[in-house]
Amino acid sequence: MQHASPGAEQLAGAASSFLSESARVHPVRPAMVAMGVGGFAIGTGEFVIMGLLPEVAADLAISIPAAGHVISAYALGVVVGAPLLAILAAGWPRRRLLVALMTLFALGNFASALAPGYLSLNLLRFVAGLPHGTYFGVAALVAASLVQPWQRAQAVGWVMLGLTSATLVGVPIAAWLGQALGWRAAFAFVGLIAVLAAIMVRRSVPEQAAQAGASPLRELGALRRKQVWLTLGIGAIGLGGLFSVFSYVKPTLVEVAGMGTGAVPFVLALFGLGMIVGNLVGSRLADKALMPTIGGLLVWAFLVLGAFVFTAHNVWAASLNILLVGTIVAMGPTLQIRLMDVAGDAQMLAAALNHSAFNLANAMGAWLGGLAIAAGFGYPSTGWVGALLAVAGMAVFGWSLAAERAARR
């Protein structure tokens, strides 16, 4: 058995000492928690408005469908802001960028709480959505850099846990505040959480310089990589089925399953619980075998969404199925890691675009589900739409695998 040279032993000792000192000065867990609180603020701000549309409509003297446009304005801000801010801030140190993004999000929500009218509220929700995708993209890069390579997906999962837990905790609290004190109080509450997150990130996340040679032009290089586009396509299409079902879950439960409206929040909580479980389990599986996990999750999405067609008529079966639909969100951290692997030296833009794809899935899934319902197929047909989108996601996944094999040959 060979023994390490004295020089190697000294080098290993120095490395161990450095890592220990780094862990003491900047422990990983507080940094993850700080970035997760930022995700919690964003998740609460994104979803709480869906439960307060009647209050917004009454206060601004507009129709409920018109009030729903503020949801679209936020989503558009996410889609536009993710690539734009990632490119413009390519050379920023990452902790400073995270603090700036969370500060912008806080200001957008405080301003939304003060919006005097319909047009200004839409504009301010657009502004509040701008930092969403870039924040999660940069936080994912920072989280992955703080752990061993075989723990990257779990680290990203911990950051995303803030977003998923917001559906279970943050949204109900903000919705209660909005109903008790007015919808503006909900946005003020989100702004306060964002301020807390910015402070925590500033105190707990280690400073990281941007990649050597980082520039807007180099970040744009991600758009020349075929695998980046294919990975984004898997998310934008394969995740659409989740939103096809969830966007119409309340009328489906009430009108098809015969559930009382008072029990609907319980089912929504089950959905949030499913998101948390899927996020944690999916990220752990991704660290063991990334591509098989992505493929397996698409098959899982097909089975779970297709089952909703048959379970939607029974209160208990539909409730369990909604919990399982929530687990499909596990694709989020897995695709985030895949983008890191295929983006080369354009990491920030690719990571941010994952959340643009997520919001495109939201818009497309809800739209296609609505088309199926309007065509007379009934609310359970959203399950068929979701299953077909999962199949389409599998096709893009297969294309990605084939292109990768061809490139290797």
| 3-state SS, residue 195 | helix
Higher pLDDT, 210 or 161: 161
- Please compute the mean of the pLDDT values over residues 340-347 and round it to a whole number: 77
Of the candidates 209, 195, 225, 180, the one whose C-alpha atom is nearest the C-alpha of residue 92 is 209
pLDDT of residue 215: 54
Higher pLDDT, 20 or 221: 221
Q: Which of 8-12, 37-41, 191-195, 388-392 has the lowest mean pLDDT?
A: 8-12
Q: What is the pTM of this model?
A: 0.78
pLDDT of residue 15: 40
Contact by Cβ (8 Å): 365, 357: no
Q: Which of 127-141, 153-167, 230-244, 269-283 has the lowest mean pLDDT?
A: 153-167
Residue 5 has pLDDT above 50, yes or no: no
| 3-state SS, residue 209 | coil
Question: What's the mean per-residue pLDDT of the chain?
Answer: 85
**CA–CA gap between residue 65 and residue 237 (Å, rounded):** 25
C-alpha 164: how far from chain center:
8
- Please compute the mean of the pLDDT values over residues 318-344 and round it to a whole number: 89
- Which of the given ranges, 43-52, 161-170, 247-256, 275-284, has the highest pLDDT on average? 275-284
Grade residue 294 by pLDDT with cuts at 50, 70 and 90.
Answer: very high
**CA–CA gap between residue 248 and residue 47 (Å, rounded):** 14
Residue 351 has pLDDT above 50, yes or no: yes
Crossing angle for the helix pair 53-60 and 118-145, to the nearest 10 degrees: 150
pLDDT of residue 156: 86
> All domains of the chain, ordered by start, with CATH?
29-210 (1.20.1250.20), 215-409 (1.20.1250.20)
Residue 81 has pLDDT above 60, yes or no: yes
Query: Which residue type occupies 130?
Result: L
- Please compute the mean of the pLDDT values over residues 295-323 and round it to a whole number: 95
pLDDT of residue 213: 55
Grade residue 2 by pLDDT with cuts at 50, 70 and 90.
Answer: very low
Neighbour count for residue 133 (Cβ, 10 Å): 30
Residue 25 CB-half CA count within 13 A: 8
